[in-house]
Amino acid sequence: MPQGEHPTKRARRRAGYTLMEMLLVLSVIVVLGALTVPPLVQMYGDYSLKQAVEAVRTELARTRIRAIDASMAYHFHYEPEGQRFVVVPSEIEPQVAGDSSKAVGEDDRDVELYRSAGILPEGMFFSAADENEEETFERIAEEAFLGLDEANKLAETTWSSPLVFYPDGTAHQEMFRLTDAKEQYVLLRVRALTGAVSISKVGRDASK
C-alpha cells in the first residue's frame, strides 16, 4: 500500500463499476427484454381472445339449458363481421305449458321467456367458419327483443341465420369463428346430437 493512502478510500474506489461493466449489464437486460416481451404480449393477446370465446360458449350452453327448461326452441344469432350476439325464443309470445289456449298468468306453469344480448370486446368480431362460404342474413322483429335495451337498434341489425337449440337437448349443427384485431381466431362448433359446444385452438389465417 502506498504511504499516506487510507485503506477505506482504496476500498471505496474498488466498489464502483466501470463504464464497460455498466454497458455490458445494460446489453444483457435489453437482450432478455427482447426475448421475453413478445411472448408475454402474445400470451396476453391469446388470453383476451380466449376470454371472449369462453363468454360466447357460456351463453350458448345457457341457451341450450333454456330450451330444455322451457320446452321451446331458442335461437342464437350473431352479427356477421360485427360484435353483437343475441338469444331469443322461437316463439315471440309465451305459451302456457300443456294448453296453448290459456292466457298467460292463468297457470303456474307459465313459461318466462328468456332473452339476452351481448357484445364482444373492442377489436373482435364474428364471421363464418369458412371465409369462402356464402352466409345468409336476416332481420329479427323488434317484438323478439322485448325487455332488452336498445331493442329498436337490435331490430335494425343484420343477423346470421339462427343457430337453433331444441327442447330435447339437440341443436342445429353450426360452426363459426371469433376473430380479433390481430387476425387470430378461434372456431366454435355446436354439435347437432348433443348441443355441446367445442372450441379450437387459437389459429391465424395464413393469408393475412
Separation CA 113–CA 70 (nearest Å):
8
In a domain, 99, yes or no: yes
Give the range of the structural domain holding residue 103, as residue numbers without chain letter.
20-204
In a domain, 7, yes or no: no
Separation CA 173–CA 193 (nearest Å):
8
Our count of domains for the chain comes to 1
In a domain, 4, yes or no: no
In a domain, 15, yes or no: no
H helices present in 71-102, as ranges: none
In a domain, 104, yes or no: yes
In a domain, 12, yes or no: no
In a domain, 148, yes or no: yes
- CATH classification at residue 188: 3.55.40.10
Separation CA 152–CA 161 (nearest Å):
19
In a domain, 105, yes or no: yes
Q: Decide if 150 contacts 157 (C-beta within 8 A).
A: no
Q: What is the pLDDT along the chain (208 residues), one digit of tens a residue?
A: 555 555 555 555 555 678 777 778 787 777 776 666 555 555 555 789 999 999 999 999 999 999 999 999 999 999 999 999 999 999 875 544 444 444 444 444 345 688 999 999 999 999 998 866 677 889 999 999 988 999 999 999 999 999 999 999 999 999 999 999 988 999 999 999 999 999 999 998 766 5
Separation CA 162–CA 168 (nearest Å):
17
pTM: predicted TM-score of the whole model, two decimal places: 0.71
